[in-house]
A and B are shown apart, each in its own frame.
Chain A
């Protein structure tokens, strides 16, 4: 039962993998890790969500249309924005807009460059645009989250520094800049470290998938390198833009940092 080089899994074969969860359950029980419920919920949710995604993607691939691709992109972008915002409840309204615009803008630009300029297929071709946008948006979201969290933590732990410099008559932008530089670095490091170990410590997910489905490894690495560069760029762009647009919302034209007294 092969098709384009990959063994098609029957439902029976596939369900065997769930046996491994028994190992996890047993270890959890033995080690008193009380996360049995989470393990079950997580496994069920993953199964249901991916099954649904499978059906949706099958439908979209069989009926390719710019409308479906766009809807999928829109949903994914909104979901990424929603996740980033719900993890950073401290953001003011304008800062939230900064996050949304930065994620959507950077994600779409990098995706378009990848699909149109590098791969050179139609932007609405679901086979390329959908999986690539998932990787790009997901990583952009993680980067922005990390950047915002680092900015907030740093700011909160250095309130005295902010207050001192404000009292000295320093421009708020200049006071906040080191915090955003630091946050950008924090956001970028995991991606860069990931690139350093790539191919030695692990074969990355996308490449593994392509090889499993029969793609020549030499082609798979080209895609992998391309996506890693795209990811590093989108993380950098989205985080930079979020922080730069965002910190402007933290002070007013009286050079007051309202945020200082709120959080």
Chain B
């Protein structure tokens, strides 16, 4: 079953996407040269941007008819704009969960999500001392802990070497499989798509009109 599909999708009259079908529970890589509209496509999927024409269907329903906040919580985009609050790792979980009006996970659970993202820090660690790559992984861990139905990762390994990138994706995918989570990855790294992709969608075909 397709969890997300698109029809005649056009953004701002200059990116025309091929029709896209994303199967539930799969690990799907979006590839295409830079500027082909991969990040934009993810923002269209979570309705932070609207297409100029065409339609996107989530679980068979046109997303125009879905409450956008609920959609974003289920189709969660881990974007490239990494942002962490000042304070400790635990404070960050606390802040993000209070924004979502949810109880934060307990320490064991937080440590579990950190370990998936290859982080082994005490929860009291201040985020200001984290390196760019560590901050990015903590950011991913926080998003992942919300256990969405679809997780969209935009260049999740941009600040990592190949070895770490592979471990990170392997563990994320392992979690996704147990939770029946669909994973959509935008990555330039061919090593990763070769190893992990169950489906590759090339949007290079999308035309600049």
Contacts and interface: CB of A to CB of B under 8 A. Distances in A.
Do A and B pair up? The answer is yes
Contact of A160 (B49, B68, B82, B99): B82
A169 B100 contact: yes
Contacts of B29: none
A256 B49 contact: yes
Contacts of A159: 81
Residue of B47, B48, B77 with most partner-chain A CB within 10 A: B48
A interface SS class: helix
A164 interface: yes
A13 B83 CA distance: 64
B57 interface: no
Interface in B70-92: 70-73, 76-79, 81-83
Contacts of A169: 68-73, 76, 100
A160 B69 contact: no
Interface in A29-46: none
A179 B51 CA distance: 28
Nearest to B81: A160
For chain B, give the interface size range.
Answer: 20 to 34
Interface in B97-129: 99-100
A109 interface: no
A165 interface: yes
Given A169-B69, A169-B73, A161 B83 contact: yes
B73 A164 contact: no
Given A159-B81, A171-B69, A174-B99, A166 B48 contact: yes
B96 A168 contact: yes
Contact of B72 (A158, A161, A168): A168
A167 interface: yes
A167 B78 contact: yes
Interface of A: 158-161, 163-171, 174-175, 254-256, 261
12 contacts: A161-B83, A163-B83, A167-B46, A167-B72, A167-B77, A169-B69, A174-B99, A254-B50, A255-B47, A255-B68, A256-B47, A256-B49
Interface of B: 46-50, 68-73, 76-79, 81-83, 96, 99-100, 139, 143, 146
Given A163-B83, A169-B100, 10 more contacts: A160-B81, A163-B79, A167-B48, A167-B72, A167-B77, A168-B73, A168-B96, A168-B143, A171-B69, A256-B50
